[in-house]
A and B are shown apart, each in its own frame.
Chain A
Amino acid sequence: MGVEVVVADYNYTSIYAWAKQINWYGLFLATVILIVGLFISQLFRKLTYKISIRFFPEATARNIARAVYYTLVFIVGASALGALGIDLTGLFVAGGIIGIILGFALQNITANLFSGLFLYWEKPFSPGDLVDINGLMGWILEITVLSTKLLGLDGVKIRIPNQEVFQSHIKNYQATKARRLDFVIGIAYKEDAEKAYEVIRKVIDEHPLVLVHPPPDVFVYELGDSSVNILVRVWVPSRGMLWYEVYKDLLWKMKKAITEAGIEIPFIQNDVWFRTPLRIKLETNEESIGTTRRRGGR
């Protein structure tokens, strides 16, 4: 079995006719549009990157520049095809329909993208800040176009979509220079609250990280079920984790000082009153009597 090779019999007249049909001017124009257009697109890419890097993080600036570049490349390509005389109406109609379909399919991504941009403009936090977003607490690692990444206090990395971040209550613990810490200390009803104030104030004064101004506030804020509750409000620097050091340190020192001063910190006490008289059944068995007495309480 062999292969038959057929050599085409070129008809030079037909090639000339074909060449004559080509729109050489259009081809030249399309080539020029393509080369110049791609060059300009590249220039715009660099320009957009250089401008947006001033306002956005590097990753976002690069993505914006890339988006601008591909949009321009698409326009250049369409123009070049137009110069060749190719009708793009059908392509645009198809593109429009695809765009609508993609719009529906990618609406979450688009929402996250725009939320990310709004977050950049609003700047509720910066990388390194300690924040609380919808109850998730951690340090901001990165704010990308689609999501915000946190390093949780337990060392777990958390990714939150930007749309959720944008619609959440955000607490930024490091947006201010100082923050307030509240402590509640319960003392027994029989104790002198003013003596407790004195002891607490001494502990607060000795702590270097409790600010002199705004001044600490110590007062009875509630007459609780089992104790007189004293509220202690102090201001501390919010830089780093200094507030956490004070938080850990101060409550124990106050408790120790109060105990050393002989002030009672009571346990929760419940008095049970019976509306009807309580009947206690006495049995002759000594052990049962003992048990009943113990159960009867007072």
Chain B
Amino acid sequence: MKEHVVIHDNELMVEKISKGVIEYTRKHRGETVVSRILYHATRLELLPMYPVMLPKKFTTYILVKLEKPVAVPPRREVDIYIKIPVDTAVYAYGPLHRFLVIDVFTHHRIKYYLYGPPDRGVVARYAYSKVYVKKPETEFGEALAYIHIRNRYISWVEVGQVLLDAQILKLYYKPETWNACTQYISLVANSPSTASIYYGRRISGEYRPIQDPPDLKPPRLLAKTEMLWGLK
């Protein structure tokens, strides 16, 4: 028994090679890049994954550059939507509903960005998004993020980038679709160049949270991200 699915340049194949034993293979442009043998896997599932795993996981930050900076008047609040890239993970479930992420792939171009100075800044996965004032539709490989911007400063503030931390960020997906979103995010501008990002409640609806890889979600006391090196 052999099943396969094609997603952009990737061909995913699952073959039953013996009783209770399956082989998972992924080919990228015809070349085999991942091949795993799984014992007693009950189910394989494709789910969105935080875009920090490729080509290797070495950061948890995502920097989203906005196509056009958003200017917020003093002491005012605005709401925008942005899209962040998400990779695709292959989850293998076994007994007791335990899972193993056996593969992660993407069709996005992967690039990273140094936010801040080399000694104190952070290297973040680089993403680029339009600014939406109304809720847009998302496609495969995208997650919708609702950003509430609050300007606490006494003057206008322009927000041209948002720094997110995958350790606090939560991804949700709508079953049987490629629709994905994050929880509510609040960006509080403290000055023209600094802001605090707070991660709020989940978006209501039929969305389910993805199961986070344990090493990506260490326990944290303070669930916020500081943007100290510029908002534009």
**Which residues of A are interface residues toward B (Cβ below 8 A)?**
175-179, 206, 208-214, 235, 237, 239-240, 242
Interface flag for B113 (CB, 8 Å): yes
Interface flag for B54 (CB, 8 Å): yes
A235 (CB) vs chain B CBs: closest residue:
B114
**Which residues of B are interface residues toward A (Cβ below 8 A)?**
54-56, 58-59, 109-116, 118-123, 126
What is the interface of chain A mostly: helix, strand, loop, or mixed? loop
- Extra inter-chain contacts (11) besides given A177-B120, A213-B114, CB under 8 Å: A177-B119, A177-B122, A178-B121, A208-B54, A208-B55, A208-B109, A209-B55, A211-B113, A237-B59, A239-B123, A240-B58
Known: A211-B123, A212-B126, A239-B123. A178 touches B58 (CB 8 A): no
Which residue in A179, A212, A240 is a CB contact (below 8 Å) of B113? A212
Q: Measured between C-beta atoms, what is the minimum distance from A26 to chain B in Å?
A: 59
Residue contacts A-B, CB under 8 angstroms, 11 given: A177-B114, A177-B118, A177-B119, A178-B121, A179-B118, A208-B110, A210-B111, A212-B126, A214-B114, A239-B59, A240-B58
B118 x A208 contact (CB < 8 A):
no
Which chain A residues border B56 with CB–CB below 8 Å?
240, 242
Which chain B residues border A214 with CB–CB below 8 Å?
114
Which residue in A213, A235, A239 is a CB contact (below 8 Å) of B58? A239
Docked pose: A235 CA to B111 CA in angstroms: 12
Docked pose: A210 CA to B111 CA in angstroms: 7
Q: Measured between C-beta atoms, what is the minimum distance from B219 to chain A in Å?
A: 21
Docked pose: A179 CA to B119 CA in angstroms: 9
Which chain A residues border B123 with CB–CB below 8 Å?
177-178, 211, 237, 239
Q: Measured between C-beta atoms, what is the minimum distance from A250 to chain B in Å?
A: 14
Known: A175-B119, A177-B122, A240-B58. A213 touches B113 (CB 8 A): yes
A237 (CB) vs chain B CBs: closest residue:
B123
Which residue in B58, B112, B119 is a CB contact (below 8 Å) of A176? B119
Which chain B residues border A210 with CB–CB below 8 Å?
111
Q: Measured between C-beta atoms, what is the minimum distance from B24 to chain A in Å?
A: 24
Which chain A residues border B120 with CB–CB below 8 Å?
177
7 shortest interchain CB distances as A-B pairs: A208-B110, A176-B118, A239-B58, A178-B114, A176-B119, A237-B123, A213-B113
A206 (CB) vs chain B CBs: closest residue:
B109
Which chain A residues border B55 with CB–CB below 8 Å?
208-209
Docked pose: A229 CA to B183 CA in angstroms: 51
Which chain A residues border B114 with CB–CB below 8 Å?
177-178, 211, 213-214, 235
Q: Measured between C-beta atoms, what is the minimum distance from A207 to chain B in Å?
A: 9
A179 (CB) vs chain B CBs: closest residue:
B118
Docked pose: A29 CA to B56 CA in angstroms: 69
Which chain A residues border B111 with CB–CB below 8 Å?
208, 210-212
Docked pose: A87 CA to B56 CA in angstroms: 71
Max chain A CB contacts within 10 Å: which of B113, B119, B121, B123? B123
